[in-house]
A and B are shown apart, each in its own frame.
Chain A
Amino acid sequence: METVLFILFGAIAVCGAIMVVTRKHPMASALYLILTLFAVAALFVLRQAHFLAAVQVIVYAGAVVVLFVFVIMLINVPESRLPVERATTTRVLGVLAAGVFILESAVLARRFWMPKGPAAEVGTVETMGRALFTDYLLAFEITSVLLLAAVIGAIALAKRKI
Chain B
Amino acid sequence: MTGPLFDITVAVARIAVFFAFCFGLVVVMTWVERKGAAYIQDRRGPNRADIFGIRAWGLFHPLADALKFLFKEDFIPDNAHRLFYQMAPMFSLAPAILAIAVIPFGPDVTVMGRKVALQIADLNVGILYLFAVSGMTVYGVVLAGWASGSKYPLLGGLRSSAQMLSYEVSMGLSLIGIFMVFESVRMSQIVAGQGGLLFGVLPKWGVFVQPLGFILFLVAQYAEANRTPFDLPEGESELVAGYHTEYGSFKFSMFMMAEYLHMVVGAAVVATLFFGGWQVPYLGDAGFLLPGGSAVAVPPAFVLLLRIGAFVSKVVFFAWLYVWIRWTIPRFRYDQVMRLGWKVMLPLSLLNIFATGLILLLLKK
Residues of A within 8 A of B (CB): 27, 31, 34, 50-51, 53-55, 57-58, 61-63, 66-67, 69-70, 72-74, 76, 79, 124-125
Contact = CB atoms under 8 A, between A and B. Distances in A.
A69 B185 contact: no
Rank and list the top 7 A-B pairs by shortest CB-CB distance, nearest first: A62-B135, A57-B132, A54-B128, A54-B125, A50-B125, A50-B124, A73-B146
B138 interface: yes
A63 B168 contact: yes
B135 A63 contact: yes
A61 B135 contact: yes
Contacts of A51: 124-125, 128
A66 B125 contact: no
B101 to A, nearest CB: 13
- From DSSP, what is the main secondary structure of chain B's interface residues? helix
Given A54-B131, A73-B157, A73-B161, 4 more contacts: A31-B84, A63-B168, A66-B142, A72-B146
A36 B258 CA distance: 24
Contacts of B131: 54, 58, 62
Q: Which of A55, A57, A79 has the most CB of B within 10 A?
A: A57
Interface in B151-194: 154, 157-158, 161-162, 164-165, 168, 185
B128 A69 contact: no
Nearest to B154: A73
A66 B132 contact: no
Contacts of A66: 135, 138-139, 142, 161, 164-165
A70 B138 CA distance: 11
B203 to A, nearest CB: 26
B168 A69 contact: no
30 contacts: A27-B81, A27-B143, A27-B147, A31-B87, A31-B139, A51-B124, A51-B125, A53-B125, A55-B128, A58-B128, A61-B135, A62-B135, A62-B138, A62-B168, A63-B135, A66-B135, A66-B138, A66-B164, A66-B165, A69-B142, A69-B143, A70-B162, A72-B146, A73-B142, A73-B154, A73-B157, A73-B158, A76-B146, A124-B125, A125-B185
Given A54-B125, A125-B125, A69 B136 contact: no
A27 B87 CA distance: 12
Contacts of A67: 165
B144 to A, nearest CB: 11
B125 A62 contact: no
B145 interface: yes
Contact of A70 (B132, B142, B147): B142
Given A73-B154, A74-B158, A61 B136 contact: yes
Contacts of A57: 132-133, 135-136
